[in-house]
Structure 1
Amino acid sequence: MEERDELEIETRLRAALQARSELVTHSTLRPGIPPNEHTAGVRAKRDAWWSWRRMWVPVTVAAALAGGVFAGAQLPSGSGKGTVSAGSSGGESSVQGAVTGTPTGSAPTPGLSAASGTASSVGTLDFTLADGWQLTKISGTAGCVTPATSPAPNPAAAGTDTLPCGVDGLYLKSDATATSWPLSTATKDTGWWPGEAASASAITCPAVKPGGSGMVKASMVLRSSAKYALAGQATAEYHEWAVTCDNGPGVQPMLWKLNAAPGAAAPAASGVAAVVSSDPQYDSALLGMVGSLHQSS
């Protein structure tokens, strides 16, 4: 091929490339540069540089997103307390109400903790009565703690085969003996029930509503502990049962017997606390009040 032909082909290629480059705007690709022996290496380097920049943007975005995920995962569990996200309608008081279990602007309800309450006693047992709960004295040494929204227990109606404080109530007695309920049967599978029963199936399910029907299907000792921590240095012997009923969910009976002070002789009578809980919304308040138990000094 003659030199003139080569020059003509090159001229036509340059014209075509120039015409195409004029169609490219600044919002799209940069104008192309006709390749030749002087610019081929420069263009290769520039293309590689732009490819790297195009990769840098998504990589940077991905890293930022990943950083946000990890930062959120490492936030302490209490970091959101007392704060409200943008666009929410509640203030700090509404958040605090959600945290403490007490609706804002309403009377206290049986809630999550016995930390706020009033000092109370049953015989020689001292404890903190949680807000939203009531104490009913059965005798000088026994009493029931129940939700303030529930009818107060009637001591005269408590027989030998019924729970003296009902379900979701705390039974307290400061002078319980080893020969009487609840200590006399504490290690039996039906020891949480105040009456003698030949088998668990002979006990009416405590979760049954008045006028309903249903019996206990099974009952067994689930857990025990010799030193359940209470207020200060006080400890208690603890028993817990697993109970299921034939017509609904089971209940959770629990029993605490206060231990003697370290180094002191075991007393003839002990302080006890018994709970048969069927509604989990009361568990924290009940456990908080039991945790505050201690003998009068």
Structure 2
Amino acid sequence: MEQQDELEIETRLRAALQARSELVTHSTLRPGIPPNEHTAGVRARRESWWSWRRMWVPVTVAAALAGGVFVGAQLPSGSSSTNAGPTSGGSPSTSAPANGSTTPMQSESVAGTPESVGTLSLTVTAGWQFTSTSKTSACVTLSSHPAPAAANGAATTAAALPCGVDALYLKADATAASWPLSTAAKDTGWWPTAVSSASDIVCPAAPSGSSTDMVKASMLLRSSDAYELAAQPGQTVATQPTAEYHEWAVTCDTGPGVQPMLWKLNAAPGAAAPTTFAVATVVSANPQYDSALLGMVGSLHQTS
């Protein structure tokens, strides 16, 4: 390499490093010493090594300069805040609401209308309708569906559920000897009429009037003695209402089947065992309604 070429490279490197030092402060990056014939190692005896070095050093400096320009463009001048960057989990950091305010989700209340039948009360979610079928029984169904006809709280036919599917059936004075409590522990206890086999039941999810889709299997899946319901104003954890719970698993010949559920409200702690019970049943065929149905069940309570 000619002496003139070497001096020209050295001059360019010094200029590049000077530009770099102006972009980055001394506290963050110290300008390096440009390589020369004393610091770079053995010179011209190995021409191939110098050919590689002539390409590598300018590329390295150019990359460093590009990085300095990028960093300088991203950070505001004099900024030392870390709130704008990602948290340790990789998501943007957020600030807590001022003055202790809550988020919209925390302050939003569930829309609904208080309803009652006998001594049983609940909050009916918007989009659903409450229909009394007797003084002590009622149905909660979708507003877009026809309201069930009054039939003293019983099924209108021998092969139908009192309120249909995707609906809530309420009875404030159920007895242990009558449906739905009398058969709650049976594999077909969710169905309002006695059958010798589950296959005798038309699948509740089948289209109206269809008799070709039958229940294939039905079994008692889960039970609980203390299904927690929502506490009412003035109630403590010790007096929070609970219910006895039963759930069945049902499959049909065609289609996905249904999920029947039963809740029997327990007496308040320390109260005498009643002779009649507040009961709610659901036969869910469409999972998109489960949230609303379970929310209304959770609001169940007895007024007196």
| Same topology, TM > 0.5 | yes
SS of the residue 2:202 aligns to = coil
Task: Write the mapping of 1:122-201 to structure 2, written as runs, cut at 5 A.
Answer: 122-156=117-151, 158-201=156-199
**Matched residue type, 1:225:** S
SS of the residue 2:290 aligns to = helix
| 8 Å Cα contact 1:17/1:34 also seen in 2 | no
SS of the residue 1:192 aligns to = coil
Moved more, 12-21 or 197-206: 12-21
- TM-score, with length taken from structure 2: 0.67
Aligned equivalents of 2:241 and 2:36: distance in 1? 90
Q: What stretches of structure 1 of length at least 5 have no aligned partner?
A: 1-11, 83-95, 101-112
Pair 1:271-2:265 in alignment: no
Aligned equivalents of 1:292 and 1:286: distance in 2? 10
- The structure 2 residue matched to 1:248, chosen from 245, 252, 255, is 255
Cα distance, 1:131–1:27 mapped onto 2, change above 3 Å: same
Shift of 1:17: 3.0
Shift of 1:154: 2.0
- The structure 1 residue matched to 2:6, chosen from 17, 21, 27, is 17
Aligned equivalents of 1:25 and 1:35: distance in 2? 11
| 8 Å Cα contact 1:155/1:164 also seen in 2 | no
Moved more, 189-198 or 157-166: 157-166
| 8 Å Cα contact 2:84/2:92 also seen in 1 | no
SS of the residue 2:89 aligns to = helix
Shift of 1:202: 1.2
Moved more, 256-265 or 269-278: 256-265
Cα distance, 1:272–1:69 mapped onto 2, change above 3 Å: same
| 8 Å Cα contact 1:161/1:196 also seen in 2 | no
Shift of 1:18: 4.4
- The structure 2 residue matched to 1:281, chosen from 280, 284, 288, is 288
| 8 Å Cα contact 2:10/2:35 also seen in 1 | no
Deviations 1:204-240 (A, max 9, x none): 1111111333011111111100011123221110000
Aligned equivalents of 1:56 and 1:25: distance in 2? 16
Cα distance, 1:23–1:118 mapped onto 2, change above 3 Å: closer
Deviations 1:179-205 (A, max 9, x none): 110001001111001111111111111
Q: What stretches of structure 2 of length at least 5 have no aligned partner?
A: 20-33, 42-52, 75-82, 96-102, 232-239
**Matched residue type, 1:230:** L
SS of the residue 1:201 aligns to = helix
Shift of 1:173: 0.4
Match of residue 44 from structure 2: none
Cα distance, 1:271–1:34 mapped onto 2, change above 3 Å: closer
Pair 1:119-2:114 in alignment: yes
| 8 Å Cα contact 2:139/2:163 also seen in 1 | yes
Identity of aligned residues (%): 55
Aligned equivalents of 1:34 and 1:215: distance in 2? 87
**Matched residue type, 1:121:** S
Aligned equivalents of 2:257 and 2:9: distance in 1? 81
SS of the residue 1:208 aligns to = coil
Aligned equivalents of 1:71 and 1:216: distance in 2? 50
Aligned equivalents of 1:154 and 1:190: distance in 2? 25
| 8 Å Cα contact 2:10/2:36 also seen in 1 | no
Cα distance, 1:54–1:177 mapped onto 2, change above 3 Å: same
**Matched residue type, 1:289:** M
Match of residue 91 from structure 2: 72
- The structure 2 residue matched to 1:296, chosen from 282, 299, 303, is 303
Aligned equivalents of 1:247 and 1:119: distance in 2? 38
| 8 Å Cα contact 2:86/2:92 also seen in 1 | no
**Matched residue type, 2:177:** T
Cα distance, 1:173–1:34 mapped onto 2, change above 3 Å: closer
Cα distance, 1:70–1:148 mapped onto 2, change above 3 Å: same
Match of residue 107 from structure 1: none
